[in-house]
Amino acid sequence: MKPYAELVVRRMPEVCPRSAEIAEIDDHEILGGVLRQQQPVPRAVNDGPSDAMHDWEFRGRRDTMPLSRSTLSRLVLGLSDGRPIVSADDLILTTLAETIALHERVKQGDLKPLTDAAAAIVASLRQGGTLFIFGNGGSASDAQHVAAELVGRFQRERAAMAAIALTTDTSVLTGIGNDYSFERIFERQIEALGRRGDGAFGISTSGQSPNVIAALSAARARGLGTIALTGRDGGAVGKAASIHVNVPSESTARAQEVHRTLLHVICDLVETAFVGFPRS
């Protein structure tokens, strides 16, 4: 047994004092990190808590965090495949901490692309333009969310705004996907509906979605304003747009959470441009 083995603790002494089983594993990840014991590991612990189980740490992607026995005992283990998970409370707190940290990182970054995106949408709408929004999966739902906020209302009564999500017509999507390719499902709609002065807003957490890249490229060629909202480093999607709003995270879930906040900010800025700030 290696003195600094990575471990799975299948049952903690606090839960079952006489049957705390320890199993050695290699580089096992827990929420993107490794749970390590800092003392030599006994082959078995059958007589209650052991001093060798006192010094643990959680090595994450960025930080190393010491774990007390009370914290460690909250790990919920013993799934059928032996893979450890974290207790519900820990998962909730970790998720909230991660999304707060990413929001703070974006807050401290360059906000000009965000205001530029809202200003471009306002300019297009004032000239009678239409905003076309598109993306895949969760980003497709975000596209529909934005269209709903603009066509309906975000927070204040005002005239309806022309916005269309290119993710909703299943006949169009399946027809283009079948007859051409999935890569062209948004591009073909831009070719059919887009006019100079309109806006094209592509959303991609990976920054690499081929159909979003194709649609933004077609939009630029036709004289539409182009906006990209991305994750990771923005990739080819960010490069395909005139205005690029980036959320620098490798996590799709965390990027989507910040995307939704930023999309609400854009809707608020656009609405405010037309009807002013709400009265207090």
Q: What is the pLDDT of residues 127-181, one digit of tens each?
A: 999 999 999 999 999 999 999 999 999 999 999 999 999 999 999 999 999 999 9
d(CA 73, CA 215) in angstroms, rounded, equals: 51
Mean of all residue pLDDT scores within the chain: 79
- How would residue 249 be classed by pLDDT, with cut points 50, 70 and 90? very high
**Packing angle, helices 252-275 and 112-126, rounded to 10:** 50
Task: Classify the phi-psi angles of 223: left when phi > 0, otherwise alpha if psi is within -120 to 50, otherwise beta.
Answer: left
99-124 average pLDDT score: 97
- For the chain, give the percent of residues with pLDDT over 70: 68
Is pLDDT at 61 greater than 50 in this prediction?
no
- Please write down the long-range contacts of 32-39, taking CB distance under 8 Å and 24 or more positions apart: 32/60, 32/61, 33/58, 33/59, 33/60, 33/61, 34/6, 34/58, 34/59, 35/6, 35/7, 35/9, 35/59, 35/67, 35/75, 35/84, 36/4, 36/6, 36/7, 37/4, 37/5, 37/7, 38/4, 39/3
Q: What is the structure's pLDDT at 209?
A: 98
How does DSSP classify residue 58? E
Give the pair of three-digit tokens for residue 23.
Answer: 């199993």
Q: What is the structure's pLDDT at 91?
A: 80
Closest by CA position to 205, among listed 177, 225, 178, 234: 234
d(CA 6, CA 23) in angstroms, rounded, equals: 9
- For the chain, give the percent of residues with pLDDT over 90: 64
d(CA 238, CA 133) in angstroms, rounded, equals: 15
Q: What is the structure's pLDDT at 226?
A: 98
d(CA 208, CA 227) in angstroms, rounded, equals: 15
- Can you give the C-alpha Rg of the chain in angstroms? 25
Is pLDDT at 44 greater than 90 in this prediction?
no
Cite the beta strand spans of the chain per DSSP E.
6-9, 22-25, 29-30, 33-37, 56-59, 64-67, 131-135, 163-165, 199-204, 225-230, 243-246
Q: Give the dihedral sign, CA 143/185/121/262.
A: positive
What's the angle, vertex CA 157, arms to CA 154 and CA 163, rounded to 5?
Answer: 50
Q: What is the structure's pLDDT at 87?
A: 65
Q: What is the structure's pLDDT at 127?
A: 97
More confident residue, 19 or 111: 111
Q: What is the structure's pLDDT at 231?
A: 98
Q: What is the structure's pLDDT at 196?
A: 98
Is pLDDT at 62 greater than 90 in this prediction?
no
Is pLDDT at 276 greater than 90 in this prediction?
no
d(CA 233, CA 131) in angstroms, rounded, equals: 25
Which class is domain 111-275?
alpha beta
What's the angle, vertex CA 198, arms to CA 230 and CA 272, rounded to 5?
Answer: 75
Identify the bridge partners of residue 201 per DSSP, sorted by sequence position. 133, 227
What residue segments make up the domains of the chain, in order of their start?
6-86, 111-275
Q: What is the structure's pLDDT at 2?
A: 31
More confident residue, 207 or 12: 207
CB-based burial label for 259 (10 Å; 0-12, 13-18, 19+): buried
Give the pair of three-digit tokens for residue 104.
Answer: 């703070």
Q: In this predicted structure, which of 50-54, 71-75, 181-185 has the lowest mean pLDDT?
A: 50-54
221 alpha-carbon distance from chain centroid? 29
Is pLDDT at 188 greater than 50 in this prediction?
yes
Is pLDDT at 124 greater than 70 in this prediction?
yes
More confident residue, 27 or 94: 94
Amino acid at residue number 56: W
C-alpha distances out from residue 218 to 32, 226, 254, Å: 38, 10, 29
